[in-house]
Amino acid sequence: MAKEGTPDARRTVQRVPTSAAGAASCRPRGHPSAEPGSAGREPKAARDVRVAVCEYGAGNVRSVTIAFTRLGADVATTSAPDDVLAADLAVLPGVGSAAAAMAGLRERGLDEALRTRVEEGRATLGICLGLQLALEESEEDGGVQCLGLLPGRAVRLREGRVPRIGWAPVEPSGDAFYFAHSYAADTPAASAHSEGVVAEARSGAFIGVQFHPEKSGAAGARFLERCLSHA
């Protein structure tokens, strides 16, 4: 894994020049055909934003729901594709194994709902495993086909202590967020890094973060608030 400021990390950042704000912004990159979620619209008040948090049998959904509720959003935890399609912001959280999570998504038809949203340019947020599931594949569990909302694959962390657990600064904003992961995204869509690890990646209306904004105190709340204001 590349350290901060190594040629590797710089190259990845340069490929995505619109990412200058990095984790400081949750605005999906403008998509000309996008309706909701497109740039240039007035930010919404949090209370007007309908958030659907995908419930598909993968871990700690409750903390994500609580975090958005605290910000005043209208949050529903759901396994129904229709709810995911109807929301202003869909959230794919998750901890645990990629294979089990993908099976859970497919079983409920949530994989198609998420793809449709992102194709339509509608704001969608992946958190932790949710970022990894958005990639084309993961090397976890001997190789898992993922959603393909983002180019690239999830690879096992090979440096430092793994799982990588704790607070680490996310560049370029410099705010520290909480991470807890053994795999990380290897993607040309990276828009922010932390210690050489992809901290955030985005493509069209999809944004994925490796850290847990719902567990990242004030910095995390600010991040989620920006997600709501651009949903």
Partner 1 sequence: MPLPRLIPCLDVAAGRVVKGVRFEGLRDVGDPVELGAAYSDAGADELVYLDVKATLENRASFVELVGRVAERLAIPFTVGGGVRSVEDAEALLRAGADKVSVNTAALARPALLTEIAELLGSQAVVVAIDASGGEVYSHAGTRPAGRRATDWAREAQERGAGEVLLTSIDADGTREGYDLELTSAVAEAVSVPVIASGGAGEARHVAQALEVAQAALLASILHENPARLASLRDELRGLGVHLRDAA
Q: Is 214 a catalytic residue?
A: yes
**By CB under 8 A, residue 156 contacts partner 1:** no
Instruction: Write down how long the chain is.
Output: 231
For partner 1, give the closer residue by CB, 26 or 118: 26
**By CB under 8 A, residue 45 contacts partner 1:** no
**By CB under 8 A, residue 5 contacts partner 1:** no
Cβ contact 25:216 at 8 Å? no
CB atoms under 10 Å from CB of 203, counted, come to 21
Query: What separation, in Å, do the N-terminal and C-terminal C-alpha atoms of the chain show?
Result: 33
**By CB under 8 A, residue 78 contacts partner 1:** no
Assign 55 to helix, strand or coil: coil
Among 29-37, 40-48, 93-101, 104-112, which window interacts with partner 1 (CB under 8 A)?
A: 93-101
- Among candidate residues 26, 54, 128, 146, the one labeled active-site is 128
Q: What are the residues whose beta carbons fall under 8 Å from the beta carbon of 11, sequence distance 6 or more?
A: none
Q: C-beta of 154: minimal distance to partner 1 in Å?
A: 13
Among 20-28, 65-73, 110-118, 147-155, which window interacts with partner 1 (CB under 8 A)?
A: 65-73
E strands present in the chain: 50-54, 74-78, 89-92, 124-127, 137-138, 144-145, 153-156, 164-169, 176-181, 183-186, 190-194, 197-203, 206-209
Residues that bind partner 1 (CB under 8 A): 59-60, 62-63, 66-67, 70, 95-97, 100, 129, 160-168, 176, 178-182, 195, 212, 214-218, 220-221
Active-site amino acid positions: 128, 212, 214
